[in-house]
Amino acid sequence: MGGTSTNSGAAGTSAACTTRTHADAVGATVKERPFRACPELVEGAASAGKKTRASAPEVSDAESIDPSVRKKRAPRDDNEKEASANSAPDSAPSAVKDVDVFRALVRAGARLADIHVHYESQPEYPLTKTEKSGTKLDYRVTKMRLSKDKTTLVYNDYLTLSGIPKKTYDYRLGNRSALEWVIDQYQVSTDKRGGITNDPNRPDDPQYILRLIGQVITVSLETVKIVASLPQLGMPDSQIPVQN
């Protein structure tokens, strides 16, 4: 009976509140209607909130974290700390060394790019020029030929160049050196099918090919020198790529 009485009381309060709220809303303006509330419901909600806050135990931030999470965030053990402390002094010199290697590679790359892009501006390697007596001065090229030891180049019937360093042939473009590539490409040839003649000689600059020979030798020697001076990368022998 007591429970029934309580329920009927609550129902009565809710019904009365609803009736009053509805009645008030009917006479309220549009702006006022959303802000009208039942005093009994507001008071009941406030008291319920107080009871909930009072009954809920206070939990610290550390306790609110799941134990598995706290375990993952735990500091390293003593062995890890000791290993980290022992390796710290070695890491600084290693970083400095890496920076030095990087800067050396940058300088080498910049120099290589400069001499290869501007190869026609490089100084000529001083070769010994032997002119054949009794022949007319001529700088035209028909087909150049290297001696067996590759230290002498027969430029044409009038001129022979000697004193070519052997290291010139260490710089290679595929399966042949840069100098051998120039010798093969800069020759007069006629296509058998089309009958078109390819003549590399320049009437406006007769000594162009002669200069080019000396410049290519300079670029080749400088390239070999720069590559030989590159710093070691510290890679194990097993990781160094093998060139076939």
* Pairing label, strands 159-162, 152-154: antiparallel
Cβ pair 196, 150 in contact under 8 A: no
Q: Please choose, from the candidates 140, 55, 45, 105, the residue with its C-alpha nearest in 3D space to the C-alpha of residue 234.
A: 105
Alpha-carbon distance of 235 to 126, in angstroms, equals: 39
Sign of CA dihedral 20, 25, 29, 32: positive
Model pLDDT, residue 35: 45
Q: 56 lies in a domain?
A: no
Q: 55 lies in a domain?
A: no
Q: 99 lies in a domain?
A: no
* Structure token digits, residue 54: 């009072």
Residues 129 and 216 in one domain: yes
Residues 37 and 133 in one domain: no
Alpha-carbon distance of 185 to 55, in angstroms, equals: 96
Q: 67 lies in a domain?
A: no
Residues 41 and 128 in one domain: no
Q: 141 lies in a domain?
A: yes
How many angstroms separate the Cα of 198 from the Cα of each of 87, 205, 208, 216? 66, 17, 16, 21
Residue numbers of the domain that contains 144: 124-229
Model pLDDT, residue 96: 59
Model pLDDT, residue 233: 77
Q: 240 lies in a domain?
A: no
Q: Indicate the number of domains in the chain.
A: 2
Model pLDDT, residue 81: 54
Q: 71 lies in a domain?
A: no
Q: 19 lies in a domain?
A: yes
Q: Is this model's pTM higher than 0.85 or not? A: no
Q: Please choose, from the candidates 174, 183, 172, 163, the residue with its C-alpha nearest in 3D space to the C-alpha of residue 227.
A: 172
Ranges in the chain, pLDDT < 50: 1-35, 41, 52, 54, 63, 73-74
